[in-house]
Structure 1
Amino acid sequence: MSSYENELSRRAFTGAVGVTAAAATVGLGAAPAQAAEAAEDRRPGPAEREFRASRSRPSRRPNVLFILGDDLGWADLSAYGSPHIETPNLDRLARQGVRFTDAYSGSATCSPTRFSLYTGRYPARTRGGLAEPIADKSVGLEPTHPTLASLLKASGYATALIGKWHAGHLPDYSPTKSGWDEFFGNFGGALEYYSKLGPGGEYDLYEGDAEYKDLRYYTRIITERASEYVSRDHHGRPWLLNLNFTTPHWPWIADGDTAQSAEIVRRIKAGDGRALWHQDGGSVGKYKQMVEDLDRSVGEVLGALRRSGQEEHTVVVFSSDNGGERFSYNWPLSGNKASLQEGGIRVPNIVRWPARLDGGQVSHVPVFSPDWTATLLELAGARPHPAYPLDGVSLAGYLLRGEKVARRDLFWRVRGERALRRGDWKYYRGRTGRDQLFNLAGDIREQADKAAVEPARLAELRAAWEAVDAGLLPYPAQT
């Protein structure tokens, strides 16, 4: 049996999801939350815990907490096999829900993936998604384009985005122009964690569309804000919170590294436009500190959610915007951020919903960022805009009713590279211009090129990639 067909290691079938555009409630069964401290194998692989019996009762539409790490690699969590990074809170989240082994980001860099998550569509459906990533104020997510937030807001949800937006800059682009009721965070792709200075020396911490002064460590600030939001009385309305950490994105500054912060700020103010890249800094140990801080921060937010009494009826999704950077633990994957090799796009991905999903599950079905947009819309009883069809597919039937995920291709395009996954097979063309074919079921490291022995399959997957590409916007000419 292929890994694609293997699907969930174990599953609870807890009834159908009733979805209509105007639904105020959906008739959902419920399952008890799993014990938080159950043992789990530290390496990637199926968990062994049996399901507990589910109980049926009506459930309101779920809240949605979507947590995104920044440049976090597939194997950077101990639940995914990291030998030296300890992530007990995210490991617990995985034990309480479903851990996906074959999950992907929508692209290989920050802003295109965010476009794919916000819209549920390939980044190259929009002009702003062609930037890889956005580095100036000329493009962004057009406010007229439907988003997960705008569609949920129209169906009665409160919506907020806390953390990194990276889909355009003021005055034309902002979360508050694209469906989020509230925004607290940064607009750009990177900032210095204490001063909040961006690459050009601009200050980049905002509440709504106004600058907000707070010179504490950034991860602490947005963790506090997110904890407050999930604890808040929303007066009976379900809510969506996109919580976008910048951790563990460079610069390599952990909480307490004030001297390192001051040195980078000095370089920024002296006109060093590459200071934030911090190419002369960082280490495996520093990266470990940053990932473990991310884990603690997620634990704080989940703790606040639990204390609020809303945990059972909140869908929590955790993922990363692309594969790992230079200090990431990517073994056994090849490549890293900016590449369409597995190390650049395969990411950790966990979903938990105590009211509906039993814990201790592992899924080997390939999924990617736009699928979560489609899934969350369905779970919330909202529909996509008919003029903007989604490129992702909903996983609701798969997760809740045991339905097969329809066979489809996962498609990626970045300048100079192309990739398409169909089942266990992956078509890849890197910057050498050579077409390659890999069977990921037995070669996750992409070392055994099957192009010469499977020419017909290679041609078929190449044609499929080109058919999708023909319907996307072309890249602007480089100057």
Structure 2
Amino acid sequence: MKSFACSVLMLLSFCTVTSASDRPPNVIVFLADDLGYGDLGCYGNPIIETPNLDRFASEGVLLTDCHSAGTVCSPSRAGLLTGRQPYRSGFFYIHSRKTFLRDQEVTLAEILKTKGYETAFWGKWHLSTLEESDHGHPGPGEQGFDYWMGTTLNAFDKLGGPRRPKAFIKNGKPVGKVEQWYCDAIVDDACDWLMNTRNKQQPFFMFVCSHEPHTPIDPPESYRDRYASDRVDQLEKQIRYGRVARPTRNLDEHKQDYYATVSQLDNAFGRLMKSLQTEGLAEETIVVFTSDNGPETPVTFEESRGQWEDPIRDKCFGTPGPLRGMKRYPYEGGHRVPGIVRYPHVIPANSKSDVLFNGTDLLPTVCNLVGAAIPINRNIDGVNAFPAFLGKEIERRDSPIWFYPHHGDTWFRMPQISLRRDRYTLVAWLPKRSPGVSLDEWFATSDPDRAELYDLSNDLEQSNDIATQHPDLVRSMKAEMTRLWRAMRDEGRAGLAQ
């Protein structure tokens, strides 16, 4: 059981609910996995067909400066649900037996339940081990979801191959292998819950987390065939991959699989939106579509060090569009992601916003929108960013910050931290780890060292380091980065020690 109570909550009321009914709006969050900033037609992809998401964007706002809370999956998901920079929750990297979303964390689902919401989750959880929920790992049910059907990780099935997801767990009980592709399985169940199972007297919160287009990638042939053409081959040569090295071996035969998987995801999302429309709920529901981090890149020979290559990542043809970096990278391409929000009669249709929205903003934004309450006994890093959906500036106490605490081997050659202030982004490296120093000790004692500065208003590719031209700005941003890094890192380490 959770220990927080309404006595430690504070009511926030920035936004007035505007809905077709007297009750607060329903909330749907659809989270794709490893979908790049440049992977959708509405974000300029010249190849991949995404008619449902393109239409969805025309009905709401397309965010051009939307960010995941982390540069990899577990931290990003923790930030979405808690409103906290994921390091505070102990997520330095991905979930493991010792790293999971603790019971003392307060999630958006739990908060919405205090306002009478029925809550439901589908898909990839990756915040604890669902198969061991009785052994100290809180699952979706313990984190506020009344109904849930999901898997711990991705659709790896050691028996049936990648196109068949591993056995789902529903409300804590295994339901056996589901003979469908992952996005189809979770959307079918979500549509059934929406139309037949939920209590229709209550508002609802649906959190739908697909594994697509994360590996393994193995779409139906009907989707793959549409991308087998000379035109696609020529267009792919124009696609940018964040200035990240790709394998020298020829992977062209696999690109159709990636494009097809994104189209399959688009179709699944469209079916969910159709069910919402059929139920007559579209106008009283705010729907958020986004991704957990930037796109994956195939393993390079240098990365494999001649010892191994990862064939399931040979099919990764996701793109960050004009941005630098991909998944894991603190450069923009690692955490700037698609973000589309629809709320009829409140958010203008067919609009765009270049105001920054971060994954940690989801919790306080939704709480403000529905008149819910957020905890005051913990650090909440996100802010009410609903004005961003209207193209209006928002105020932040602290600058958004992202981490990828890799161990600094030379083959990665990338920074560990980035911080965003207005149009400027500072990226920084921790000092090189000395021989014999453990990773934990290195993180605990290291502060940002070497840094680069970029002006994103004219340098989205982060190709022109202007640090030497703005020493005072670098000094100021680095000081804030160090302060936030220390506070978040130390809070997370203290929580894991409990």
Sort the TM-score into its range (normalised by shorter chain).
Answer: 0.7 to 0.9
SS of 1:173's equivalent? coil
- Corresponding position of 1:366: 356
Equivalent residue in structure 1 for 2:94, among 125, 133, 145: 133
- Corresponding position of 1:405: 394
2:151 alignment partner AA:
N
Find the aligned partners of 1:58 and 1:21 in 2 and give their Cα distance: 22
Q: CA RMSD in A?
A: 2.8
SS of 1:462's equivalent? helix
Q: How many residues align?
A: 403
C-alpha spacing 1:441/1:202, structure 2 compared with 1 (3 Å) = closer
- Corresponding position of 1:449: 465
TM-score, scaled to structure 2: 0.76
CA apart distance, 1:473: 2.9
For each residue in 1:6-48, what CA deviation from the matched residue of structure 2 results, as whole angstroms up to 9, or x when unmatched? Answer: xxxxxxxxxxxxx98499xx96446xxxxxxxxxxxxxxxxxx
Matches within 5 A, 1:59-458: 59-127=22-90, 129-130=91-92, 132-134=93-95, 136-169=96-129, 170-171=132-133, 172-189=137-154, 191-192=156-157, 195=160, 203-213=166-176, 214-232=178-196, 233-255=198-220, 283-326=254-297, 327-397=317-387, 399=389, 404-407=393-396, 408-416=398-406, 417-430=416-429, 434-458=450-474
Find the aligned partners of 1:391 and 1:404 in 2 and give their Cα distance: 17
C-alpha spacing 1:202/1:75, structure 2 compared with 1 (3 Å) = closer
C-alpha spacing 1:145/1:471, structure 2 compared with 1 (3 Å) = same
Find the aligned partners of 1:371 and 1:115 in 2 and give their Cα distance: 12
SS of 1:206's equivalent? strand
Find the aligned partners of 1:58 and 1:114 in 2 and give their Cα distance: 31
Find the aligned partners of 1:231 and 1:202 in 2 and give their Cα distance: 24
Matches within 5 A, 1:19-98: 21=11, 28-29=17-18, 59-98=22-61
Give the conservation status (yes or no) of the 8 Å contact 1:194–1:218.
Answer: no
1:147 alignment partner AA:
T
SS of 2:374's equivalent? coil
SS of 2:469's equivalent? coil
Find the aligned partners of 1:464 and 1:196 in 2 and give their Cα distance: 47
SS of 2:149's equivalent? strand
The answer on 1:469 being equivalent to 2:469 is: no
CA apart distance, 1:383: 1.2
Give the conservation status (yes or no) of the 8 Å contact 2:155–2:165.
Answer: no
SS of 1:162's equivalent? strand
CA apart distance, 1:461: 0.6
Give the conservation status (yes or no) of the 8 Å contact 2:355–2:393.
Answer: no
SS of 2:122's equivalent? strand
Find the aligned partners of 2:334 and 2:209 in 1 and give their Cα distance: 19
SS of 2:327's equivalent? coil
Find the aligned partners of 1:445 and 1:181 in 2 and give their Cα distance: 43
Give the conservation status (yes or no) of the 8 Å contact 2:88–2:489.
Answer: yes
For each residue in 1:408-447, what CA deviation from the matched residue of structure 2 results, as whole angstroms up to 9, or x when unmatched? Answer: 5111122140000000000002578631000000000000
SS of 2:375's equivalent? coil
SS of 1:419's equivalent? strand
In the alignment, structure 1 segments of 5+ residues that lack a partner are: 1-18, 31-56, 258-278
1:150 alignment partner AA:
E
CA apart distance, 1:195: 3.7
For each residue in 1:232-260, what CA deviation from the matched residue of structure 2 results, as whole angstroms up to 9, or x when unmatched? Answer: 45231000000000000001211359xxx
SS of 1:473's equivalent? helix
Give the conservation status (yes or no) of the 8 Å contact 1:192–1:251.
Answer: no
Give the conservation status (yes or no) of the 8 Å contact 1:375–1:395.
Answer: yes
Find the aligned partners of 1:395 and 1:453 in 2 and give their Cα distance: 32
Structure with bigger helix share is 2
CA apart distance, 1:117: 0.4
CA apart distance, 1:202: 11
Find the aligned partners of 1:332 and 1:253 in 2 and give their Cα distance: 27
CA apart distance, 1:222: 0.7
Find the aligned partners of 1:241 and 1:293 in 2 and give their Cα distance: 20
C-alpha spacing 1:194/1:442, structure 2 compared with 1 (3 Å) = farther
SS of 1:68's equivalent? strand
Give the conservation status (yes or no) of the 8 Å contact 1:322–1:337.
Answer: yes
Find the aligned partners of 1:345 and 1:146 in 2 and give their Cα distance: 24
C-alpha spacing 1:66/1:161, structure 2 compared with 1 (3 Å) = same
Find the aligned partners of 1:386 and 1:287 in 2 and give their Cα distance: 43
Find the aligned partners of 2:214 and 2:159 in 1 and give their Cα distance: 14
CA apart distance, 1:62: 0.5
Deviates more, 1:420-429 or 1:218-227: 218-227
2:334 alignment partner AA:
G
1:234 alignment partner AA:
N
Find the aligned partners of 2:56 and 2:206 in 1 and give their Cα distance: 17
TM-score, scaled to structure 1: 0.78
Find the aligned partners of 2:366 and 2:42 in 1 and give their Cα distance: 24
How high is the sequence identity, in percent, across the aligned residues? 30
CA apart distance, 1:349: 0.1
CA apart distance, 1:311: 0.7
SS of 2:62's equivalent? strand
2:94 alignment partner AA:
P
